[in-house]
Structure 1
Amino acid sequence: MSAGISATQRVAVITGGAGGIGRAIAARLQRDGLRVALWDLDERAAHEAAAELAELADGAPRAALGVHVDVTDEKSVTAAMQTTVAHFGACHVLINSAGTTGPIAPVADSELAAWQRCIDVNLRSVFLCSRAAVAPMLAAGFGRIVNLASIAGKEGNPSMSAYSAAKAGVIAFTKSMGKELALTPVRVNCIAPAVIDTPLLQQMTPAALAASLAKIPMQRAGTAGEVAALAAWLASDECSFSSGATFDLSGGRATY
């Protein structure tokens, strides 16, 4: 395959694809004509979401695939990529959207296991999945990796040290990998949203949520659809001269 293939021949992997932002991005990419692989730790949810998307694809053959994967586990990620490529024949787009807010507590009161789990889900997974995607993307002659970071990775949210540190890592990882692949057909960028209205907000305490919303000049949370629209552009041919970049989606909160 080459960069000249049509969108309907392209394959997108979306981690955390069974719900929230991942599901919204998967639906948007499918509407744009891509075939989608929904990677998720919840096997049943992944298969159900894929079946629903396939049903909406107007009978397009093999339009969606649900894949059970632990994105923090090297062997699981390798197996998931093998399953995806065996099913679709390629991988052209990777959306790293699996995530968790982690412990909401001051550093002094944070438990190491919960802190490390947050780092693993939000940062280790981006490394493992991105690494697994490079070879098939280079073989296809086209690649787009889109990582979901956060405004917390730029500013640091109080009592969310693990999440803030992980998302800062995602931003730096994106810059590094984008530079590495600048002379290839693969582009690597990330999105830094502020508060987005998804079920993930239920993991936040009311006080933490209120504090985050108060910082947004538009005085509202963003929507998963707004994230999906930006991700769709970053996954497209039109995103050709941006790599290693961070795109804010913060309702005016971001200052740099």
Structure 2
Amino acid sequence: MNLEQKIAVVTGGTGALGSAIVQILLAGGATVVVPFHREQDLDRLRDRLALPPHAALIGAQVDLTDEQAVMAYYHQVAQDYGGLDILVNVAGGFAGGKPVHESGWAIWQTQLDLNLKTAVLSCAAAVPHMMARGGGAIVNVGTRTATQPGANLAAYAASKRAILQLTEALAAELQPHRITANTILPSVIDTPSNRSAMPDADYDAWVPPAAIARVVLFLVGPDARIISGAHIPVYGAA
């Protein structure tokens, strides 16, 4: 797929799924921007992906829950590279594995900040620059848990279920501007951290990050311009 001259932002791009998405977008010819959390994260990502020095990967340390910082960074990227075309919101995290009555509000707030606020702020910052380019593509990462009942997952599931409504609103609002918005719904992803946390699980049922990245690549590419507002399961047999 030819993504040359496309500018793509991948939040959470230094994690297992995010790095697979970064890799496939780079292979497609895009310039990939990764706002990262910790110093040296971008260098570690370059090493993990074995990228050559000339690879079109850039980034900066940005607090994705800080509205002003996010707005300023996306504006700077758009100025430096001529705009924004693609946004993939991978940033997030899991917590709150307790019943509702045992989960203090701090857990809920943390999940909302990690999983919803980061996506909302990045969308708000990216969309005006996509409009200026005459189109674009947004892919948000939800979860299978957001679409089905589950005990001891309420804070996480609620924050991710809100991503579904965010995506639907974006799709409706941005259709006249030729900007698509879709959600992918993973379940358990085959990552080293998940294997460590669940050593007795059936890893064969889990989906590798690279397989999910290929779905993201399709959704941001030219053949998916007629798909918007969709919530796409990517959990295979997991």
Does 2:27 match 1:31?
yes
Structure 1 runs of 4+ off > 4 angstroms? 50-54
Query: 1:111 and 1:94, CA in 2 relative to 1: closer, same or farther beyond 3 A?
Result: same
Q: Report if the CA contact (8 A) 2:184-2:234 is conserved.
A: yes
User: Which of 167, 174, 180 is the equivalent residue of 1:174?
Assistant: 167
How many angstroms does 1:162 deviate by? 1.1
Does 2:40 match 1:44?
yes
User: Which of 81, 84, 94 is the equivalent residue of 1:88?
Assistant: 81
Does 2:237 match 1:248?
no
Structure 2: stretches of 5+ with no match in the other structure: none
Q: Report if the CA contact (8 A) 1:101-1:203 is conserved.
A: no
3-state SS of 2:88 partner = strand
Q: How many residues align?
A: 237
Name the residue aligned to 1:146. 139
3-state SS of 2:140 partner = strand
Alpha-carbon deviations, 1:195-242, whole Å to 9, x = none?
Answer: 1122553796x49x96xx7xxxx9611110011000001111111111
How many angstroms does 1:129 deviate by? 0.5
- Residue identity in the other structure for 1:228: A
3-state SS of 1:18 partner = coil
Q: Report if the CA contact (8 A) 2:34-2:57 is conserved.
A: yes
Query: 1:72 and 1:201, CA in 2 relative to 1: closer, same or farther beyond 3 A?
Result: farther
Alpha-carbon deviations, 1:13-36, whole Å to 9, x = none?
Answer: 000111211111010000011010
- Residue identity in the other structure for 1:244: G
Identity %: 31
Q: Report if the CA contact (8 A) 2:167-2:183 is conserved.
A: yes
How many angstroms does 1:51 deviate by? 7.0
3-state SS of 2:119 partner = helix
3-state SS of 1:130 partner = helix
Does 2:209 match 1:224?
yes
Q: Report if the CA contact (8 A) 2:167-2:229 is conserved.
A: yes
Q: Report if the CA contact (8 A) 2:205-2:237 is conserved.
A: no
Q: Report if the CA contact (8 A) 1:92-1:143 is conserved.
A: yes
Q: Root-mean-square deviation (CA), in Å? A: 2.4
3-state SS of 1:194 partner = coil
Query: 1:200 and 1:162, CA in 2 relative to 1: closer, same or farther beyond 3 A?
Result: farther
User: Which of 64, 67, 72 is the equivalent residue of 2:65?
Assistant: 72
Name the residue aligned to 1:100. 93
Task: Measure, in 2, the Cα distance between the counterparts of 1:53 and 1:78.
Answer: 28
Could you tell me the TM-score, scaled by structure 1's length? 0.84
- Residue identity in the other structure for 1:241: I
Task: Measure, in 1, the Cα distance between the counterparts of 2:165 and 2:117.
Answer: 13
Could you tell me the TM-score, scaled by structure 2's length? 0.90
3-state SS of 2:25 partner = helix
